[in-house]
Amino acid sequence: MQFQSTKRSRFLRACLIAVVAAGAAQAQAKLDTTTFVVLGEGLAAGMANYGLNSTFQTRNFPAVMATQMNTAFPQPLIQPPGIGDVIGYPQREVITPTLPQGTVRVFPEQPNPNDNAPPVFVLNLSVPGHKLVDAINLRPVAPIVQKDMKQTVVNMILGFPQLFFQRTVPLWSQTEYAKAMFPTMALVELGYYEALEAAVAGDPTKIPDPVAWGQSYAQVVQSLRQLQAQVIVTTIPNPIETAYFANPRVAASIVATAPFILTAGYQLTQNDYITRKGMEVIATQFWNRTIGPLPAGSILRANVAADITNRVNALNAQIVNAAKANGAVVYDLNAFLHKIYVTGVTVGTRSINADYFGGFYSLDAVYPGPTGHALIANDILAFLNQTYKTSFSLVDAKTVAAGDPVFAYQKPGNGRYSGQQLRVTDGPADLLLEAEAAAAQEAAAEAAAESAADAPVDTSAEANLDEPAVDAAADAAPNPTEYTVTDSGTAAE
């Protein structure tokens, strides 16, 4: 696709090279992990399975990093079932506490077992649903529990202990809180929610203006750098490459049919995407042996996806610029997740990928499970080792996977809905049969051609509609960010 060689991509690559060079210069400075503070949104917070709770928070990538770096990392652990809304799903009422919660915020064990006092401060300040503007401006405000889920989550994470016990400590926004902790090392994972919101809404204009956004981002980085903290900023993952969006090939494996059934039945191109919501509706229609209209939010057209990708890359360019201008280093999270999307990775004997039920993303399809977080943590640790000449050991992803329910997801059985089994409710009766015949004809022609040429199997999407190759996914959702995944982590070039 055209994005791979755009000016913007070349610019971004140049920026990344420059920033890594700057990072190399920073490597002269020692990385002090004493006070490791994280600013972010749901990804760094550890959202999974439709909420934020301690079951997954304790295994988020910052926590894994902290463990491997042997530094304390108190988190605002929330008792299951958790709090917070997930983009792309119905908003929930704030019901706090709900069963079986007690204190909602987990009171960790204290040295004195009779001391019920919770930790006064936390260092993972990530708040699900946080945008950059929220990180700068949104402060806790009483009452602690409100009808507004977003404010309640802010209160529960950033408002403790101020909203609970006393007002001698100011009510801080995420950025203010981070600065007040005087971090020696800060990781900034912001911008993903802006991208997710735009992608789920199918509205690229929801992504903020990159220049203004970049200026604000630079202020955050600058304010942390002024405290002499080593600052690691992460690029924004492309939401189109999460499990929430599936091209027809991947979606077909989820809803148990052939890709041409989806493209013909729902008037899609190979480069369009079906959302998690759309796949569920389609699965429901298939139960009823029908193909019918899909509700809004079910399909993301290729051109819209491309626009979103471009705009995310524009924000990432701003992140790179901000880092460069302020002496921060850039970890290319987007590139790492792109690798997961394109090729997957092998953990133990199993390959996991970014498909729904692929083992990387949790049920919400936009936030990873524990194995995914462990892989991200390892890649960042490797990046730190390379950048700062540290020697943090990596976590054993295989061990993490053994206890990870997300890793154990299973796709549906091998049966497939055929054109004969499905009825199009608002289109020509023979639409699917014609498509099926055409697909069979095409496949036969391809097979004949292959046989004649005595060539290896052609795995292009056009050649095999049932099982197009992984490359088709890469073609369909290009990412202009150049990346290299090595043993020492994902960085530019």
Between CA 354 and CA 339 the distance in angstroms is 9
Query: In sequence order, what are the beta bridge partners of 345?
Result: 352
Q: What stretch of H or E contains 440? A: helix 431-453
Which C-beta is closer to other proteins: that of 117 or that of 212?
117
- CA 90 vs. chain centroid, Å, equals 19
Which C-beta is closer to other proteins: that of 327 or that of 405?
405
Do 422 and 444 meet the contact criterion of CB atoms below 8 Å apart? no
CB of 240 to other proteins, least distance (A): 20
Binding region for other proteins (CB under 8 A): 49-51, 53, 55, 79-82, 86, 89-90, 92-105, 116-117, 141-148, 151, 163-167, 254-256, 276, 279-280, 283-284, 286-288, 357, 363-364, 403, 405, 408-417, 421
CB of 123 to other proteins, least distance (A): 22
CB of 393 to other proteins, least distance (A): 25
Which C-beta is closer to other proteins: that of 166 or that of 391?
166
CB of 303 to other proteins, least distance (A): 27
CB of 358 to other proteins, least distance (A): 11
Which C-beta is closer to other proteins: that of 57 or that of 216?
57
Helical segments of 327-391, H only: 333-342, 370-388
Which C-beta is closer to other proteins: that of 328 or that of 363?
363
* Exposed e or buried b per residue across 261-271, where buried means at least 16 C-beta atoms within 10 angstroms of its C-beta: bbbbbbebebb
Between CA 132 and CA 233 the distance in angstroms is 13
Between CA 252 and CA 259 the distance in angstroms is 5
Do 238 and 338 meet the contact criterion of CB atoms below 8 Å apart? yes
Do 345 and 337 meet the contact criterion of CB atoms below 8 Å apart? no
CB of 47 to other proteins, least distance (A): 13
Token pair of 109, please? Answer: 């064990």
CB of 174 to other proteins, least distance (A): 18
Which C-beta is closer to other proteins: that of 228 or that of 418?
418
Query: 193: Cβ–Cβ under 8 A, 6 or more apart, which residues?
Result: 41, 42, 87, 129, 130, 131
Q: What stretch of H or E contains 273? A: strand 273-275
- What distances in angstroms separate CA 425 from CA 220, 266, 299, 300, one per listed residue? 53, 11, 18, 22
CB of 80 to other proteins, least distance (A): 3
CB of 420 to other proteins, least distance (A): 11
Do 253 and 491 meet the contact criterion of CB atoms below 8 Å apart? no
3-state secondary structure of 78: strand
Which C-beta is closer to other proteins: that of 145 or that of 201?
145
Which C-beta is closer to other proteins: that of 97 or that of 170?
97
- What distances in angstroms separate CA 421 from CA 13, 272, 282, 290, one per listed residue? 49, 24, 14, 8
Which C-beta is closer to other proteins: that of 82 or that of 119?
82
CB of 361 to other proteins, least distance (A): 12
Which C-beta is closer to other proteins: that of 227 or that of 256?
256
Q: Which phi and psi angles does 407 have, rounded to 5°?
A: -65, -25
Which C-beta is closer to other proteins: that of 14 or that of 433?
433
* Exposed e or buried b per residue across 216-226, where buried means at least 16 C-beta atoms within 10 angstroms of its C-beta: bbbebbebbbe
CB of 370 to other proteins, least distance (A): 10
